[in-house]
Amino acid sequence: MPRITLIGAGSMVFARKIVGDILSFDALADSEVVLMDIDEGRLDRTHRVAEAMVDNEGLPATVEATTDRRAALDGAEYVFNMINVGGTEPFENEIRIPEAYGVEQAIGDTTGPGGIFRGLRTIPTMLDIAADMEELCPDALLLNYTNPMAILCKAMFDATDVETVGLCHSVPHTATAIADYVDVPADELDYWVAGINHMAWFLEATHEGESVYPALREAAEDPDTYQRDTVRFEMLKHFGYFPTESSHHMSEYVPYVRTDPETIDEMTGTDYAERMGTATYLEGWTARSTQRDDPELDVDLDEVGVERSEEYAARLVHSLETDTERRFNLNVSNETGAIENLPGDACVEVPVLADGSGLHPCSVGELPTQVAALDRQHSAVYELAVEGALEHDREKVHQAVKLDPLTGAKLTLAEAHEMTEALLEANAEYLPRLE
């Protein structure tokens, strides 16, 4: 009967999916599920849905809800982190201020100035959670879903004793996309992927033992297919491997695409056109945040059931609890040397075997030089951002932004410095103390 705690459970749609995944396994159906959020209204709604799932399915699980984080963590064996620190105001600043300086981010939550500052405002809360865990559930595994993934996981690796692993959708979603482009069943595609979060690389992708890369390159020559994933097909063409985030995300990881409106328009593919532009994405995010408070979104509790989603966090827990071996792509510390030509203290996304004895990162060896170079640059940015937060070092925050490829493609060093100061001033109340 594992005790599984969800921090940030007020996000009802996602929390409902996670709870349903947990309860869908017979071996986890008697779990003690604890929901925690600081928003009582959202928490209550998630709690009612989760209890209805248990009651309607006649399961032995128990569900409790609390706004007390320490109570939620006491005795936990697994802690799911899905928090959002600060809400809409700082996120809008992280988009609009760089935009005013000419830095056009696509999403701004994992890399670029937006990702760096989102990390800075989230790290203090993550450290508070870690301190509680070290006291109340020191052997628990923290499963992090919150972005910026690499920055937050690295902060946990560097500053805490909490066993932390990061989970992201990008690898399985990319596998599905590749299978579609080469016209093979998604569940028959085998792959070996490694790198950093949102910039890992399909080092191998095979179907029935044969590489699908020739077919993928051929697919990219078709104009209609190319327009579905322009930036990633360009990365494949020029660097030889297909990356793991959608084109709108990938466009802000490299200095080649978001340079001027004409280039952005040219690279806007039909599958993500509505998210290639910052303003559109920000408006959609704000609307979704507002809708979370809408009582009309309440579901019919009599109809709520348990369904297993594509999320793999519950599968990971099931593997650990039942000694069922599975392989996942997870975000872990590179301290084991999983990727030999990335820093040993970087957060890397690599294949990891999970079984009853724990999590075992696989050895990847060296990444191809060209893609390792792209990953190393971002790893350096993340390292400086984390050091800036942990050491209260304002200058390292500046250096992180100045090393960001997207920022460097648009701004002089003086302009980048001025933009960073504007962000520090605008979001001062959300940030750690910086000197």
Residue 87 contacts residue 121 (beta carbons within 8 Å): no
Spatial neighbors of 287 by CB under 8 A, at least 6 apart, are: none
The tokens for 274 are 């509505």
Residues of the chain by 3-state class (helix, strand, coil), percent to 5: 55, 15, 30
Contact 6, 15 (CB under 8 A): yes
pLDDT at residue 270, as a whole number: 36
- Give the span between the Cα atoms of 322 and 343, in whole angstroms: 34
Q: Which pLDDT value is given to residue 73?
A: 98
Q: Count CB atoms within 10 A of the CB of residue 124.
A: 16
Which residues are within 8 A (CB) of 80 and not within 5 positions of it... i.e. 6 or more apart? 4, 5, 6, 7, 18, 143, 145, 313
Instruction: Return the residue matching tokens 């939620």.
Output: 72
Task: Considering only CA atoms, give the Rg of the chain.
Answer: 21
Decide if 35 contacts 66 (C-beta within 8 A): yes
CA 414 to chain centre: 31
CB 225 within 8 A of CB 219: yes
Contacts of 21 (CB under 8 A, 6+ apart): 308, 309, 311, 313, 314, 315
46 close to 35: Cβ distance less than 8 angstroms:
yes
Q: Which two tokens stand for residue 307?
A: 């369904």
Q: Please, are residues 10 and 37 in contact by the beta-carbon 8 Å criterion?
A: yes
pTM of the model: 0.94
Residue 273, pLDDT score: 40
Site of tokens 């962000």? 423
Closest by CA to 38, choosing from 5, 67, 74, is 67
Nearest alpha carbon to residue 278 among 258, 308, 305: 258
Asked, as a colleague might, if the bond just before 361 is cis with ω within 30 of 0, I would say: no
Lookup: tokens for 372: 């390792």
149 neighbors 195 (Cβ within 8 angstroms): no
Go through the domains of the chain in sequence order and give each one's CATH number: 3-166 (3.40.50.720)
Give the pLDDT of the chain (435 residues) as one tens digit per residue: 899 999 999 988 889 999 999 999 999 999 999 999 999 999 999 999 999 999 999 999 999 999 999 999 999 999 999 999 998 899 999 999 999 999 999 889 999 999 999 999 999 999 999 999 999 999 999 999 999 999 999 999 999 999 999 999 999 999 999 999 999 999 999 999 999 999 999 999 999 999 999 999 999 999 999 999 999 999 999 999 999 998 988 999 999 988 888 887 777 653 444 444 454 555 555 555 544 444 435 678 888 889 888 889 999 999 999 999 999 999 999 999 999 999 999 999 999 999 999 999 999 999 999 999 999 999 999 999 999 999 999 999 999 999 999 999 999 999 999 999 999 999 999 999 999
The residues near 366 (Cβ < 8 Å, ≥ 6 apart) are: 339, 340, 341, 372
Are 341 and 366 contacting, i.e. CB atoms less than 8 angstroms apart? yes
The two three-digit tokens of residue 140, written as one number: 């628990």
Residue 192: beta bridge partners? 204
What is the reported pLDDT for 43?
95
Q: Which spans in 58-162 are helix H?
A: 69-73, 88-100, 112-136, 149-159
Residues forming the active site: 169
